[in-house]
Structure 1
């Protein structure tokens, strides 16, 4: 497959395109970036986890969580399209990105500003349609993050391109400290869901400043019509696919909010956030590295297939035990962490954990297909997912409440979306054999873990002590089951015997 060129490059000009990095050099960069990214994500998510416990137990109720869920959903959907997908060109294209970065910055800033103006005017209508009129003011404040993100995506893209995850960790730490401090102070002062909005804006401002300092000289506005046309041609399909991907994981919030009310939405948002712990801790760390890594391997189908298989194996191996434990021990975990007030959320959690595992694989496949240039296949798969999901979730909400919505998610994902992604990956040269090899041992270990958890719960019950005993025993069984896959995951090879 031909490499993607910058809009101002010429096929005859090769001086701007650096030589492909040696495999060992690239592997070293990816490993180092992955370590920093994982440390960063774990630390930040543990901090967010502790903050969520404080807020849920002592400051906010289910209805306020519901308002926050509505505002967060709208923001995430808009963020997927606010820079028209052109920011990925900083990471993906060959050549010196500083030549076209000013045009990327201008496009991103203008588009995000227009989106914010639209949501500011339509906020009361959007909140009313979602049966959350109190979310209007929260929407207007929280969506200021659109404009900040439109400016920050260029320096952040440079950090991703260079695998500079150590610097990114410092930036994220600034974001976390400021956003958490503002949120906690305002929440305990009685600001309700607005505390999340103000905290998000404060944290994003800190992140923008941090990215600008970590990647100096990248915040320069400029305009080149030829570059702009090429950037939009590259970015708009990706923005559409990203918008569809965000719709997949956020349309349920809109369905629950409009059908079941703010209290039910609060319970669902809490359960969905819990199901996202493995996704955010493991998958988010990997995705900060995977797209840049897959982009370097896109010219070799064999290398891309091997890289995807190993990345998927690592992700699934790390995610399966978390999903099994949170799903199988949902009631005692929710009670222990958040208190009895939030126990209705536990009923939906096992199904959402299954969805979380599917999401991790689909998100990695998403990055691989983008890097491989399979944008049309990606848009078709995401579009199919959304079209099938909406009616199923509506029916699920009416028949089974938040549990029915969770079951509908899993039904569509497993029955329709996974086969569609497998087909798209096959077209990119990644066979079912690569995927089966990556998933076989973790799935076997997960099955054993599930049987252990179910049997132990019948013997020991759902108490706090039983929770830790069951979890420890299940994890030990899983570790034994996946031990044979360690050579594949580490990429180690048995050395050839030396000649006598």
Structure 2
């Protein structure tokens, strides 16, 4: 989307927050890869700290609360997540993706988002008793009513966050996220350990995150809304965002429908095990893919008129991210018992079986990591929605077929479908882009092979039996052994495959550029 509102008043001028990202200046293009790489590296670095905090959060809560508590909160979280899908109608993504913006567009989008969020908050409060009646538990009603307010608070700062990411101010955006998570975790852990509020500490954690994050975003961002003189830019942003909202709606049924199925068929205890297992699966997403996307998508969006630079940045980014995500996929598959024992404690053995099954899904997610970057950076949200609609029936069928076998069956059905659609989805995403599907698969294929070999070797050797222990030390050593086997596999692939070796050398040069001192100032401007 590169069009600019032709009817905007001549007085409309870019605000300081987005002035630097308003066009395709050659100087900014030459620095874009450096800024994106440094921003992505910093985002992943801070996100590792965030994940460590969240892991501590998981470890404490899992040892204090019962599976039924997590199942109860998972039900309310799923319903709030569904309502919140419509909070900004994809307009934040439009703010990041559009090459040119004006004050009327930003203010119009902001006013629209706040109005929609307020209505959604009221809908959540009104519908809460219906949800409580459906699940036969009045506690669900109270949880939904209290949690509905987070929808409006999050909307107040959503556009400020989008502007920071648009301008490649990744450091500021990630610091805000880190501080919010740290403050919320510290207070919520103190509450659950020193009071008897139980699962309400989880709700307090969610509230604290959005409150701190929104406050810091307003403190850091210099942009402020103003009276809207022309609504055309906001309508254009909404036109871009609606297909993305549709995609997120389909993804919700893809992801959250399983919670509803398990909660209604098997109850909150089974759902509690399942939701904790899924939280472990999401560690790679929150630690690597999510933070990297916050830097990569804005950078690719600025390069959409330069196919060669766009392709180089995409493939280099995919290669680096794949190294981490395939390792985590192998660990989830092989070391599920060890990971769950360390994170959740000894009473969550049922969750470990589900985590191991979810490892299959993580392999598929790693293959598809570039797909959303392609769709969003090129403004192809309509194609993104069509693919989600095409595959949604397959995921629902997989989950329904597995439902009679409990949470483990649902996880297996979900993961097998994910694996089946992975390669076709890469071909679909790459079809109308500067990169080929075979090119992307050549990037990820050798790394996936090393991860699969690590899984087979680790399972064949039965590392836990070799280590001769069942405590936390043996679990940690088992995980480290998988890491070593994977690293050796990657090294062998690099040595034997000339194309992969050359590609890694190019990526190494790219990384050295990111570490160079001559352009460091570009990220901090």
TM-score of the pair, normalised by structure 2? 0.86
The yes-or-no answer on 1:489 pairing with 2:507 is yes
Choose between structure 1 and 2 for higher RCO, CA contacts under 8 A separated by at least 6 residues. 2
SS of the residue corresponding to residue 195 of structure 1 reads helix
Residues 356-435 of structure 1 correspond to what in structure 2 (within 5 A)? 356-362=362-368, 364-398=370-404, 400-416=405-421, 418-435=423-440
Instruction: Tell me whether 1:479 sits opposite 2:487 in the alignment.
Output: yes
Maintained 8 Å contact 1:138/1:193: no
Shift of 1:232: 1.9
- Pairing 1:288-307 to 2, within 5 Å after superposition: 288-307=294-313
Q: How far is 1:414 from its partner?
A: 1.9
Inter-partner Cα distance in structure 2 for 1:223 and 1:463:
67
Larger deviation, residues 262-271 vs 321-330? 321-330
Two-structure CA RMSD over aligned residues (Å): 2.6
Moved more, 79-88 or 26-35: 79-88
1:246 aligns with 2:252: yes
Please state whether the residue corresponding to 2:253 is helix, strand or coil.
helix
Mapped contact 1:381–1:417 kept (Cα < 8 A): no
Matching residue of 1:498: none
Question: How far is 1:93 from its partner?
Answer: 1.3
Mapping of residues 163-312 of structure 1, within 5 Å: 163-188=168-193, 189-220=195-226, 222=228, 224-312=230-318
- Counterpart in the other structure of 2:497: none
- How many residues are treated as equivalent by the alignment? 489
Deviations 1:128-175 (A, max 9, x none): 435554222111222212111211111111110111122123311331
Residue 146 of structure 1: which of 135, 138, 151 is its match? 151
The 1:253–1:41 alpha-carbon spacing in structure 2 relative to 1, beyond 3 Å, is: same
Report what 2:470 is aligned to: 463
Q: CA deviation at 1:29?
A: 0.8
How big is the shift at 1:33?
Answer: 0.8
Please tell me whether the aligned partners of residues 48 and 287 of structure 2 are also in contact (alpha carbons under 8 angstroms): yes
| Structure 1 residues 406 and 462: alpha-carbon distance in aligned structure 2, compared to 1, 3 A threshold | farther
C-alpha distance in structure 1 between counterparts of 2:244 and 2:252, whole Å: 12
CA distance in 1, matches of 2:391, 2:425: 9
Match of 2:123 among 97, 109, 118: 118
Give the match's secondary structure for 1:408.
helix
Instruction: Tell me the equivalent position of 2:447.
Output: 442
Q: Which residue of 1 aligns with 2:111?
A: 106
The change in CA–CA distance for 1:244 and 1:450 in structure 2 (over 3 A counts) is: same
The answer for unaligned runs of 5 or more in structure 1 is 495-500
CA distance in 1, matches of 2:365, 2:132: 28
Q: 1:320 Cα shift? A: 1.2
Check the 8 A contact 1:351/1:410 in 2, yes or no: yes
For residues 437 and 20 of structure 1, what CA distance do their matches in structure 2 show?
A: 32
In 2, Cα distance between the equivalents of 1:274 and 1:236?
31
| Aligned-partner Cα distance in 2 for 1:442–1:132 | 47
Q: Check whether the contact 2:426–2:437 (CA below 8 A) recurs between aligned residues.
A: no
CA deviation profile, 1:230-283 (whole Å, cap 9, x unmatched) = 222122112111222233222211111111110000000111111111111011
CA gap 1:487/1:428 in 2 versus in 1, 3 angstroms: same
Q: For the structure 1 residues 488 and 225, does the alpha-carbon distance in structure 2 shift closer, same or farther, using more than 3 Å as the test?
A: same
1:64 Cα shift?
A: 0.4
1:44 counterpart = 2:50: yes
Shifted more, 142-151 versus 107-116: the winner is 142-151
- Is the partner of 1:308 in helix, strand or coil? helix
